[in-house]
Structure 1
Amino acid sequence: MMHHETDVIQVPGAELRYVRQGTGPLLVLIAGGDGDAAAGAPLAAQLEPHYTVLTYDRRGLSGSTIDDPEQPPTVTTHADDVHHLLTALTTEPALVYGSSIGAMISLELAARHPEQIRLLVAHEPPATQLLPEQDRAQAATAQREVEEIFQKEGAMAALRKFLVLAGIDPADREEDAPMRSPNPERIRNLEFFLTYDAPAVRHHRLDLDALKGTHIVPAVGTNSGQVMAYRCALLLADRLGLPYAEFPGGHNGSVFRPKAFAARLHEVLETPPDQRITTFAQESGD
């Protein structure tokens, strides 16, 4: 029987609910969008034979509460939350996988607390600061449009616009990948994400100098097309002088293709640093 526990931890200004399952080295999954621990559960289930997988609800989502709702979290707040979570649960550096906003949070964690990270796989972080000026302005406009649609037409209309922007194809999925239903909790999470977290990402700037020399693998989806976050990941690899890794599916491949994604993540996490360049450089031909 695999070890599986759910608990809560107090962090400055919030309470975080987390789930820990499996055995082996600690691997933290930081979800994209309005993703909570449940959103990462299918991927975690595939990884738990190899790792102690930690998923959690970001502050403001599902079971994680904020002491003062008038204090909206920033990307840095979320990174500090993961820092406190790791400090409470382990003395060793952890493996980290972050997607989209989760990749931004994990990169901020790497910049602030590099000693806590053994290896970070940063999948399609929307780090628009890396884009050429014109593209950066376009990305900001598109993001604001999503936020405006949310204010006028509600969370589901904004989500539909966001899926188009992120190039997410709901048909690009494994047959048994669970569909996340728009239940009341999901709607609440989406509303929180669109009100606070999406603008926080738009305003965030990564400290690229602090990321040099940290253990990062920028990652992209093979089916992402040239969407903004895909390009940001490649530009991040370029700026940091690192090889990047390709993963199955699109921008949210970890949710739609958990089996293939977990297999690829395991492969990337187990590749020794000196072999990463050759492994990753060859894969575009397969």
Structure 2
Amino acid sequence: MKTFIIEATDTFLHGRQYGDDGSPVVLIHGACVDADFWNDCAAHLSKHHRVFTYDRRGYGRNEETDDHSIHIQAEDACRLIRLIGEPCFVVGHSAGSLIAMELALTHPELIRGIFLYEPVKNDLLDGEHSDAIDAYKQAMEEVTAKAENRKYAKAVTLFLPLMGEKDSRARAASDSELEHMFKNCFCFVKHELSELHDYQPDYDRLSRLGIPITLGLGENSRGSAREPMVQILVEKLKADLLYFPGGHNCPYDLPREFTCLLEGNITY
């Protein structure tokens, strides 16, 4: 693994490269984590690909910034791919999936395909009702209210259980991951929560770009509010759907299994 710096708008981002041969794959992490989330997946993928990860702005080893919009974060990913020097296959996890979608919309020439694992877009549930969905909506309203009142610790405490339980087969977090945990969680509730809610991608245009799109859903997420989010996006994007073992954090909890299924969908 090699480290490098991405010169982005108004900030610098820490990046990593795994492997020196094969087609390039970019992995974009979600909320409350950083590039460490992908360490094991990247190591497995690097047997056949050049794999790139990075700490999104405000996360991990990066400094806080004023602008955390989905658009500026897509430009961050664009800077990374321009450094790589050729179009890439892009994988987005959770909130990172929104950045992958915006990147495809604004710079389709840089994308060979995208894989979106359990995108979280709460407004997709407007008009949808079930016990799980209604409970999720109520909980997210409470998270948002706490964040707006700058009660960030309480917002984090309320938010994390909504992502589901950690898989019993997952490894323990490393010292580096634990060191950055609180910073990453606070970055999300302080800077990104409202940005994610306000972001409105052009799903119809994205579906017509000709870019291969696949969505993933964890088996343990069946019956949760994330399942209808993914199903609605599959319809909007005219995408394929692939089921994975584990839950929302399958890439971290079960990296070997996640990688094996992902590799069959990396399109070039």
Query: TM-score per shorter chain, which class?
Result: 0.7 to 0.9
Supply the AA of the counterpart residue of 1:77.
I
Q: How does 1:135-154 map to 2 (within 5 A)?
A: 141-149=138-146, 154=152
Stretches of structure 2 lacking an aligned partner (at least 5 in a row): none
Instruction: Kindly state the Cα deviation for residue 56 of structure 1 after the two structures are TM-superposed.
Output: 0.3
CA deviations over 1:8-41 (Å, ceiling 9, x no partner): 1211111111000113111111111122111211
Residue 123 of structure 1 pairs with residue 117 of structure 2? yes
SS at match of 2:221: coil
Q: How does 1:208-223 map to 2 (within 5 A)?
A: 208-213=203-208, 214-223=211-220
> 1:11 maps to what in 2?
8
Residue 169 of structure 1 pairs with residue 158 of structure 2? no
> 2:185 maps to what in 1?
190
SS at match of 1:44: helix
For 2:199 and 2:137, the matched residues in 1 are separated by 12
For 1:72 and 1:180, the matched residues in 2 are separated by 29
> 2:68 maps to what in 1?
73
Residue 234 of structure 1 pairs with residue 231 of structure 2? yes
Supply the AA of the counterpart residue of 1:109.
L
**TM-score, structure 1 normalization:** 0.82
Supply the AA of the counterpart residue of 2:69.
T
Residue 247 of structure 1 pairs with residue 241 of structure 2? no
Quickly say closer, same or farther: Cα 1:77–1:230, change in 2 above 3 A. farther
CA deviations over 1:211-247 (Å, ceiling 9, x no partner): 1233211221121123233321211111222221112
Give percent identity, aligned residues only: 28
For 2:259 and 2:168, the matched residues in 1 are separated by 14
> 1:99 maps to what in 2?
93
Comparing 131-140 with 98-107, which one deviates more in the overlay?
Answer: 131-140
Residue 109 of structure 1 pairs with residue 109 of structure 2? no
For 1:137 and 1:195, the matched residues in 2 are separated by 24
Contact 1:60 1:192 in 2 (8 A): yes
CA deviations over 1:171-229 (Å, ceiling 9, x no partner): x2435x23256744321121111111122111111111221233211221121123233
Residue 20 of structure 1 pairs with residue 6 of structure 2? no
**TM-score, structure 2 normalization:** 0.87
CA RMSD of aligned residues (A): 2.4
For 1:117 and 1:51, the matched residues in 2 are separated by 15
For 1:132 and 1:193, the matched residues in 2 are separated by 23
SS at match of 1:223: helix
Instruction: Kindly state the Cα deviation for residue 115 of structure 1 after the two structures are TM-superposed.
Output: 1.3
CA deviations over 1:86-141 (Å, ceiling 9, x no partner): 11222x22011111101111111111111111110011111234334355997554
For 1:140 and 1:85, the matched residues in 2 are separated by 35
Instruction: Kindly state the Cα deviation for residue 149 of structure 1 after the two structures are TM-superposed.
Output: 4.6
